[in-house]
Amino acid sequence: MLASKKAVLASLLLIGTVLAACGSSSSSAPTATTAAATTTTTAAPTPITIALPVAEPVQSPVYLAQQAGYFQKQGLAVKIVVLSGDVIVNSALVSNSVQFTSVNAVSLLTAVSKGIPLQMACLEYNGPEWALAVTNQIATSDKLTASSTPLEVLKALKGDKVAMVGGASAAPGIMLLGLLAHYGLPANWLTIFAVGSSAALVSSLQHNEVQGIFDTQPIPASAQELGAGKVVFDTTEISALAAVPWEGILAAKSYIDAHPATVKAVCSAIAQADNYLISNPSGATTALQPTFAKLSPSLLNSALTSYKWVKDAQMTDKQWTDGLAALESFHLLKAKITPTVLSSAYTLAYLPPAG
């Protein structure tokens, strides 16, 4: 009997020891189930590629959103690439080798009118921004200054050569030809001279190979800073074009439909960048200086303040309707843009809240 009691007691002690060991183990090393319940995991950022047609201050919202971490805060891992020309960028969007780009309304509407399914999701700036610089000789002989009207400037350039990147078929060429038509001057009033880069523009003016250059800022301003000529006109001065929804973020419609959260995140980051460019251009200049290291701080700041950045990246149906009428009045669109084409070229569904 005594032996039996000792056996029972030993068994109880053994069970207690095992239970104590189990309790100790569970508190120091959670099971997989417990760990899953107590560990907070962070979702991996969404990788996207944004293709830009040029690497210039005109694309500052995208570069600033990357530099300031706005994309990262929206859960995006963004790669920025530069592809030469809208046609190449459009092909890359449709094939999904890149997901987003930033281009102007004329390029967008032209592509959509040809059946390329692209959509703008949010806006970066209003109104086209191209400036015209002429040689010092032209400025002096024709008494052209920064306060000269577009018509006065164009009339003074009769028979002269004006250089631009890409020539007559590129965006600046279309803009200049549209200005000639709008002001009642023939297309052959002046000669459009195509060059391959913005650097070549300044060089051509310095060496008197052309009488004028037409490009986005700060290229014309840099020519003036070097003493090669004078800036005498900027398209932002044309009130009829000032409210046109000009440059924005777009993607293939199929991508937008399939990835609404990503589109919304991109537009939220762009809105933050736009707002910072508006409220703190000097801070934006400092932030973007490493990106545009070849530009002096004064030139970069001058460029950033040339654009009409859009608060909260907003746009409206009325703005697009009125903008189309303005673009047509300046003969900037070769194709007829129907209401159906226009409505399919943009979406308001992914705009960030307006502040």
- Give dist(CA 134, CA 313) in Å, integer: 34
Listed in sequence order, the residues at least 6 apart from 183 whose beta carbon sits closer than 8 Å to its beta carbon are 150, 151, 154
For residue 198, the model assigns a pLDDT of 85
Q: Are 242 and 126 in contact (CB under 8 A)?
A: yes
- b/e burial code for range 335-349 (CB count within 10 A of at least 16 → b): eebeeebbeebbbee
Q: What angle do CA 245, 247, 248 make, to 5 degrees?
A: 95
Reference 220, options 131, 295, 91; nearest CA is: 131
For residue 9, the model assigns a pLDDT of 35
Q: What does 164-201 look like in DSSP terms, one character per residue?
A: EET-TTSHHHHHHHHHHHHTT--GGGSEEEEESSHHHH
- Give dist(CA 156, CA 97) in Å, integer: 46
pTM, 2 dp: 0.83
Beta strands 229-234 and 131-135, pairing class? antiparallel
Query: For residue 115, what are its two tokens?
Result: 């059946």
- Give dist(CA 41, CA 160) in Å, integer: 65
Topology classification of domain 131-240 = D-Maltodextrin-Binding Protein; domain 2 (3.40.190)
- Give dist(CA 259, CA 253) in Å, integer: 10
How many helices (H) and strands (E) are present in the chain, helices listed first? 17, 11
Listed in sequence order, the residues at least 6 apart from 45 whose beta carbon sits closer than 8 Å to its beta carbon are 72, 75, 76, 77
From first to last of its 355 residues, what are the pLDDT tens digits of the chain? 434 433 433 443 333 333 333 333 333 333 333 333 333 456 899 999 999 988 899 999 999 999 999 999 999 999 999 987 777 888 899 999 999 999 999 999 999 999 999 999 999 999 999 999 999 999 999 999 999 999 999 999 999 999 999 899 888 999 999 999 999 999 999 999 999 888 899 999 999 999 999 999 999 999 999 999 999 999 999 999 999 999 999 999 999 999 999 999 999 999 999 999 999 999 999 999 999 999 999 999 999 999 999 999 999 999 999 999 999 999 999 899 999 999 999 999 999 998 7
Query: For residue 163, what are its two tokens?
Result: 């250089």
Q: What is the largest CA-CA distance in the chain?
A: 129
Domain limits, the chain: 46-127+242-344, 131-240
Let me know if 49 is exposed, middle or buried by CB neighbors in 10 A (0-12, 13-18, 19+).
Answer: middle
Q: How far is CA 264 from the centre of its chain?
A: 15
Beta strands 191-195 and 118-126, pairing class? unpaired
Beta strands 76-82 and 46-52, pairing class? parallel
Q: Are 218 and 303 in contact (CB under 8 A)?
A: yes
Cα dihedral: 248, 252, 255, 260 (round 10): 30
- Indicate if 131-240 has the same CATH topology as 46-127+242-344: yes
Cite the DSSP H helix spans in 32-157: 32-38, 60-67, 70-73, 86-94, 105-113, 136-141, 150-156
CATH class as words, domain 46-127+242-344 = alpha beta
